[in-house]
Amino acid sequence: MNLETTAKVKKLLNSSKNIVVVGHNNPDGDAIGSCLGLANYLNQKGHQVDIIMPNDFPGFLKWIPEASSIINHEIDSEKSKKAISQADLIFTLDFNSLDRTGELQKYLENATAKIFMIDHHLQPDTYATAMYSDDTMCSTSEMVYHFIEALDDLQFLNKQIATQLYVGIMTDTGSFRFPATTSTTHRVVANLIDKGAENTIIHQNVYDTNSLERIKLLGLALKNLIVLPEFNTAYISLSKDELNALNFNKGDTEGFVNYALSMQGIVFAVIFIEGANDNIIKMSLRSKGDFSVNDFAYKHFNGGGHTNAAGGKSYKSLSETISHFIDILPNYKEALSNES
Ligand code: 5GP
Ligand code: MN
């Protein structure tokens, strides 16, 4: 975080007692980890802090220290509305546009509080009073570390914050392997371990707590895997009925798309998931190399994210969405031919 932004943050914090920290819809490890880490730090600095998520988050993140303090707007909207209306300052973390906050969007837009964005997604919107936005960062959780560092406050790093930020960095980097993982990331992680983050236990809590049904769902997803060799592309689909038959829980499909991308020669992978209640098709898009799934999702599927990992959605049926996807691919034949 540069000196100018640091000065702005100091000023904002000096004039703020009540602070709200908000993550995005369908929060992932980075959203939860970065919000909890920042909130713990701000609490120690004497602020009154509420953490709000637009909706629930997966069971494999519920063990994280202080996760039970998070207000789920879908369950407790009165509490979240009150916190937003009383806030002097709102931090929005791990998203670049307010439409990533679902039902919360209108309350955030009408809030009188100043807004500070911390985020690593491409093309940030301009709703914030000030922002620390850096799309070269591997995770918002690493940015929260640099935020605390810039304020010369690393002495506030305790075991809770170390654990929270470790989860965010680990999940957003695919366990420290995606291209945005730098030597600085590893130095930050080393410091988190020194401060008490128990790396083996954290990995086990997140990755080795699968239910049998989730493993069966993975089996079904792999059975549904289709390869389009002409486009070095592979996709997976899961219908509402298939998900219901295996008692689908939030977060169960997390990471499935990576199996499609893990094949030799595949540079583009997508998973299509039919929503249980809303019929909306949620897509996760991944790529290797230069092919930008951010651009693809933005242009065709109401989404975005990063060059190699993005999300999107479609309001068509599952089969229509997949047909549309297949129809578009010839326009990208050349871009997809560059094997990485
Ligand atoms: P996932 O596929 O894991 O849901 O998301 C991959 C990445 O894309 C994450 O960094 C996530 O924040 C971002 N992302 C997911 N859905 C959307 C979306 O609808 N719009 C935008 N702009 N980014 C998204
Ligand atoms: Mn993130």
The DSSP string of 268-317 is EEEEEEE-TTT-PEEEEEEESTT--HHHHHHHHSS-EE-SSEEEEEESS-
Specify the amino acid at residue 33.
G
Ligand 1 atom closest to 284 (CA): 2
Helix (H) or strand (E) holding 170: helix 159-172
Within 8 A by CB and 6+ apart from 3, the residues are none
What is the rounded average pLDDT of the residues 273-302? 94
Confidence band of 233 (pLDDT split at 50, 70, 90): very high
Ligand 1 centroid–CA 41 distance in Å is: 26
Domain boundaries, the chain: 3-207, 212-339
Residues with CB under 5 A from ligand 2 (ion): 30, 94, 140, 172
Alpha carbon nearest to ligand 1 atom 22, residue: 304
Q: Could you give the maximum distance between any two Cα atoms of the chain, in Å?
A: 58
Alpha carbon nearest to ligand 1 atom 11, residue: 305
Q: What is the DSSP letter of 238?
A: E
Ligand 1 centroid–CA 304 distance in Å is: 6
What is the rounded average pLDDT of the residues 80-87? 98
Predicted confidence at residue 339, as pLDDT, reads 58
Q: Which of 95, 257, 261 to mutate to test the pocket of ligand 1 (most atoms within 8 A of CB)?
A: 95
Predicted confidence at residue 37, as pLDDT, reads 98
Distance separating alpha carbons of residues 77 and 24, to the nearest angstrom:
15
What percent of the chain lies above the pLDDT cut of 90?
96
Q: Which long-range contacts (CB under 8 A, 24 or more apart) does 223-230 make?
A: 225/259, 225/260, 227/263, 227/266, 228/326, 228/329, 229/265, 230/333
Alpha carbon nearest to ligand 1 atom 10, residue: 305
Beta strands in the chain (DSSP E): 18-22, 48-53, 71-72, 89-93, 114-119, 130-133, 226-228, 233-238, 268-274, 281-287, 304-305, 309-314
Distance separating alpha carbons of residues 168 and 158, to the nearest angstrom:
16
Question: SS3 for 118?
Answer: strand
Q: What Å distances lie between residue 169 and 11, 132, 194, 332, CA to CA?
A: 28, 17, 16, 31
Pocket of ligand 1 (CB under 6 A): 100, 284, 303-306, 309-313
Is the domain defined by 3-207 classed in CATH 3.90.180.10? no
The residue behind tokens 């004497």 is 46
| pLDDT at residue 82 tops 90 | yes
Predicted confidence at residue 278, as pLDDT, reads 83
| pLDDT at residue 304 tops 90 | yes
The per-residue pLDDT of the chain, averaged, comes to: 96
| pLDDT at residue 340 tops 90 | no
Report the candidate in 281, 284, 274 with the shortest Cα–Cα distance to residue 245. Answer: 274
Q: What Å distances lie between residue 259 and 132, 135, 183, 318, CA to CA?
A: 33, 25, 26, 20
Q: Which of 94, 121, 142, 257 to mutate to test the pocket of ligand 1 (most atoms within 8 A of CB)?
A: 121
Could you tell me how many residues make up the chain?
340
Hey, do 3-207 and 212-339 end up sharing a CATH topology, with the first three levels equal?
no
What is the rounded average pLDDT of the residues 42-56? 98
Evaluate whether 285 touches 298 at the Cβ level (below 8 Å).
no
**Under CATH, which architecture does the 212-339 domain have?**
Roll (3.10)
What is the rounded average pLDDT of the residues 50-54? 98
Ligand 1 centroid–CA 270 distance in Å is: 12
Confidence band of 338 (pLDDT split at 50, 70, 90): low
Q: Which of 22, 25, 28 to mutate to test the pocket of ligand 1 (most atoms within 8 A of CB)?
A: 28
| pLDDT at residue 249 tops 90 | no
Evaluate whether 64 touches 36 at the Cβ level (below 8 Å).
yes
pLDDT tens track for 7-32: 999 999 999 999 999 999 999 999 99
CA atoms within 13 A on the CB side of 75: 8
Ligand 2 centroid–CA 45 distance in Å is: 25
